Amino acid sequence: MQVIRYPEKNTWEELLKRPAFDTRELEATVSAILGDVKENGDDALRRYTAQFDKVSLDEIFVTAEEFEAADAALEEPLKDAIRTAAANIEMFHRAQVESVTMLETMPGVQCWRKPVGIEKVGLYIPGGTAPLFSTILMLAIPARLAGCSEIVLCTPPGKNGAVHPAVLWAARYTGITRVFKTGGVQAIGAMAYGTESVPKVYKIFGPGNQYVTCAKQLVNSNGVAIDMPAGPSEVAVFADDTCVPAFVAADLLSQAEHGADSQVLLVTTSDAVIAAVEKEVAAQLALLPRKEFAAKALDNSKLVLVKDRDEAMDMLNAYAPEHLIMACENDEILATRVINAGSVFLGNYSPESAGDYASGTNHTLPTNGYATAYSGVSVDSFVKKITFQRLSREGLRALAPAIEAMASAEGLEAHRNAVSIRIKNM
């Protein structure tokens, strides 16, 4: 990790840059795969699964027998852990379900808004080096609470041609039975355009690497909604002398182990914290099974010493991290100054892993600086909010002068007449 002490503000933009691919080459590759899937459907999915996952598939969909085999293979302690996490996630997200409130904006003019679940949604669950079955809970539970009538899931198969048992068990536990063995760009294309097996959906959710993120953005430009442009995972930590360096190091490594394109950032007011965290990172990294991935991510990561808490918050808001951990004194007071972050973790005993798995908050969050404008996934992500209104005769009569004056001023006489003709016939 690179140590930077007291950087000038005019250097922050360069200092806080994320790792990036050449997007021109990336878009060309992704666009070609999407076009192939759109034109050739299941045949293209099988070809790309053989090419990228090294698996030849006869059937793309997961059978009932495979769900049963997953249930038998998964150990009870993990099932219990998933049940616990699901209960907390459901409790947190159920509180987000809106009731319909009718307002009378003036006598005889009633307006209200009703949340309606998006009919068809697609969930993408990455496989690769780690089966992210926890993401199923984060997406399927709010989708069900929102009232989505059709939920499909795409995830890459393992080398044996099967989906990881925990992925299938979590899917069925949350009510998903339509699971397809396809990953990466081709999975996004399948859900965006539909194939012989995979149905077309109206909105696509789920994290992924740069290729998946690019695919989501490209299909979004063609009319398919997406949750957000979420890319490689990241964490920022603010720590002062009240932190526990071993905890901070563990938090940094918990994100670094996601992959080589992840990034972690420590901002601190204490040079002693930097030294202690560096020492702990080295010790803990050596013991990790995924240390090669973490080590590569650490090459893109920084430890930054700043002069005071004000400068720290300015820098962190400029970075707009996916996850922000506040391991410091008076964390709740300082947290009121957070403007840009996906999810915030307060105190020495709030690891980012809690939000990743089981505290109840959602872990599908904006990355790459998008926390300046995007929220994490919630029940709201799975609904459309439709407005309604009803005007009585008296309500229209009272509102008519304002409507007629505004329509005339804009030169839209048909708009004016839609009101005038009613008033004349009352």
Q: Show binding-site residues for substrate.
A: 233, 255, 258, 323, 356, 410, 415
Taking each helix axis from N to C end, the angle separating 23-40 and 184-193, rounded to the nearest 10 degrees, works out to 50
**Gap between the Cα atoms of 68 and 334, Å rounded:** 49
How far, CA to CA in Å, does 87 sit from each of 94, 137, 138, 382? Answer: 10, 10, 11, 19
C-beta of residue 374 within 8 angstroms of C-beta of residue 366: yes
The binding site for NAD(+) consists of 124, 186, 209
Instruction: Note if 39 is an active site residue.
Output: no
For the annotated binding site for Zn(2+), the residues are: 255, 258, 356, 415
- Measure the CA–CA gap between 213 and 226, rounded to whole angstroms: 10
Q: Which amino acid is at 229?
A: P
- How many residues would you count in the chain? 426
Helix runs in 41-155, H state only: 42-52, 64-73, 76-94, 134-146
Q: What is the DSSP string of 282-319?
A: HHHHTT-TTHHHHHHHHHT-EEEE-SSHHHHHHHHHHH
Contact of 206 with 227, CB cutoff 8 Å: yes
Tokens 């598939």 — which residue?
57
Supply angle C-alpha 170, 174, 98, rounded to 5.
140
Which residues carry a binding-site annotation? 124, 186, 209, 233, 255, 258, 323, 356, 410, 415
Report the amino acid identity of residue 341. Answer: A
Burial readout 18-29 (b: 16 or more C-beta within 10 A, e: otherwise)? bbeeeeeebeee
Residues 323, 352, 363, 404: which is the catalytic one? 323
Q: Catalytic site residue 323?
A: yes
- Of 280, 322, 352, 404, which residue is the catalytic one? 322
Structural contact between residues 186 and 215, judged by C-beta atoms closer than 8 angstroms: no
Which residues form the catalytic set?
Answer: 322-323
